[in-house]
Amino acid sequence: MAQLTPELSANIANDIYLITNQNTRKLFFDLYADQFAFKDDANLQGKTGAFILLKKEQSLGLAATGIKQRKGEALIALKGTSNGYDGLTDLNAGLKQFNTGGFVHQGFYYAFQSFLPELDQFLANLPPDIHTVHCVGHSLGGALATLAADYLKAKSGCAVNLYTFGSPRVGLSLFSEGALRRLGEKNIFRVYHRTDPVPMVPTWPFIHVPNGGLGDLLLNSSVALNPIEYHKMENYIGSLSGSEIKHNWELVRKKRPPAPITRSIESWLKSDGPLSLTLNTAWVAAEAVMWVLKKVVELTGIALVVGGGTAFTLLDQMAIFLKKAYDFGKKASYWVTRLLVRLGKLIGITVSESVNITAALIRAIFIRMHSAVSELVMRAGRNVEH
């Protein structure tokens, strides 16, 4: 099946930033002119192809059909915007039910709705021979590409491939699981550096598409650079620039650095060693939260039902869920307690094994954890040179 290579998808995610200015937009068109048809006056009803600028006044991205060796394919490329980051760490930011079902962050939802009429127009005029649509984006553009890919998969009969670089989390579990099921994990290429702070926000209950598995493409990042440098497309291109890896997603998967496997997360939870909050430990803590939530569902059969309102109210629901799990039995209460002990250690709260765990305590620890991680991520952004 048609796929964009690691090199090509990363270059498109980088070059799409050129579409804002009309002269540099022409550079984008010229460079990709032998693969995609870009004509402002293209007849959208025609058989030769369709092209459209998404959210024209702000140039959020473009949609175009393939030509020559890309005949039968289409491209949706989206770029980030300069505003919208602050909302990622705001627990009171609202949630919106996305078109395909499931809740997503309202900032992404509104940005997506702003170009949805153009996307629908593109879809309605897609030539019948189009079999595959590639959705590409970096940073907030990655979040929008995720929404676009899920929407297009639900609306069209086409295969849809999703390629994101340093994307933040987009939605809650129902959205993430639905999008993963609809798109299929082999068609998702979610690329991120371990120390890129942006994919760490918004914090749980937002969940990546996918979180683990074939489409979760973690790249190593050394400690030599400021973490936010690893968010830049230049460094994503650098990490994928090896002579063989740039052509082969399988090699990108194989390059995955050692990550906390189940056993090491268990060890981390059981450990009583000292902890300080860094981007790395925040990452392990997020994995541990996911692990414990899955574990207690397995042990108790209690379903975590989330919905409505804001992330703030979701933390309430999660606190009640964990409290129920804690009360259910010894095994579940053990893992809930260990999670709270370890998260408490990260944020300077001592949680004794003998303390009476209440929903209010759980909620307080999660809110403090969210604030601490958000502050850490913001600090990484502030310290950057440019």
Partner 1 sequence: MSNLNPLKACTFSEMQISLFFDGKPATGAKITRTIEWRKEHVDEFTADGNGQVTLPAEFENYYLKFFPMEFVSAQFLTVQYEGKEYEIWNYAKRKTELNSEMDGEPLKLSCELTSESITTRAFGSILGTRCTLPQES
* Residue span 13-52 as binding mask against partner 1, x where in contact by CB under 8 A, dash where not: -xx-xx-xx-xx-xxx-xx---------------------
DSSP character at residue 99: T
228 binds partner 1, rule: CB under 8 A: yes
With b meaning 16 or more CB within 10 Å and e meaning fewer, what string describes 342-375? bbbbbbeeebeeeeebebebbbbbbbbbbebbbe
105 binds partner 1, rule: CB under 8 A: no
Q: Are strands 36-37 and 61-66 parallel, antiparallel or unpaired?
A: antiparallel
Report residue 206 as tokens.
């937002």
Distance CA 283, CA 200 (A): 7
85 binds partner 1, rule: CB under 8 A: yes
Nearer to partner 1, 21 or 43 (CB): 21
Closest contact distance (angstroms) between CB of 126 and partner 1 is 27
> 130 to each of 31, 36, 61, 77, 233, how far by Cα in Å?
22, 12, 20, 16, 29
Q: Phi first, then psi: what are they for 138, rounded to 5°? A: -115, 140
Closest contact distance (angstroms) between CB of 237 and partner 1 is 8
Closest contact distance (angstroms) between CB of 133 and partner 1 is 24
Closest contact distance (angstroms) between CB of 125 and partner 1 is 28
Nearer to partner 1, 166 or 178 (CB): 166
Which of 153, 194, 231, 295 forms a contact with partner 1 (CB under 8 A)? 231
* Cα–Cα nearest to 107, from 128, 130, 127, 81: 81
Nearer to partner 1, 302 or 378 (CB): 378
Nearer to partner 1, 97 or 114 (CB): 114
Report residue 94 as tokens.
């609202």
Among the residue ranges 116-124, 225-233, 310-318, 337-345, the one whose residues contact partner 1 (CB under 8 A): 225-233
Closest contact distance (angstroms) between CB of 213 and partner 1 is 27
Closest contact distance (angstroms) between CB of 199 and partner 1 is 12
* Cα–Cα nearest to 228, from 178, 279, 276: 279
Distance CA 194, CA 216 (A): 11
Contacts by 376-383 with C-beta closer than 8 Å and gap 24+? 376/197, 376/277, 376/278, 376/279, 376/282, 377/89, 377/197, 377/198, 377/200, 377/201, 377/279, 378/89, 380/197, 380/226, 380/227, 380/228, 380/279, 381/85, 381/197, 381/228, 383/226, 383/228
* Residue span 136-175 as binding mask against partner 1, x where in contact by CB under 8 A, dash where not: --xx------------------------------------
192 binds partner 1, rule: CB under 8 A: no
Q: Is 123 helix (H, G, I), strand (E, B) or coil?
A: helix
DSSP character at residue 256: P
Among the residue ranges 74-82, 246-254, 297-305, 335-343, the one whose residues contact partner 1 (CB under 8 A): 74-82
381 binds partner 1, rule: CB under 8 A: yes
Which of 234, 272, 327, 353 forms a contact with partner 1 (CB under 8 A)? 234
Closest contact distance (angstroms) between CB of 54 and partner 1 is 17
Among the residue ranges 62-70, 128-136, 224-232, 340-348, the one whose residues contact partner 1 (CB under 8 A): 224-232
73 binds partner 1, rule: CB under 8 A: no
Distance CA 250, CA 244 (A): 10
333: CB partners within 8 A, 6+ apart: 325, 326, 327, 357
Nearer to partner 1, 175 or 236 (CB): 236
Which of 45, 82, 243, 354 forms a contact with partner 1 (CB under 8 A)? 82
Write out the residues near partner 1 by the rule CB under 8 A. Answer: 11, 14-15, 17-18, 20-21, 23-24, 26-28, 30-31, 79-82, 85-86, 138-139, 198, 228, 231-234, 237, 378, 381-382, 384-386
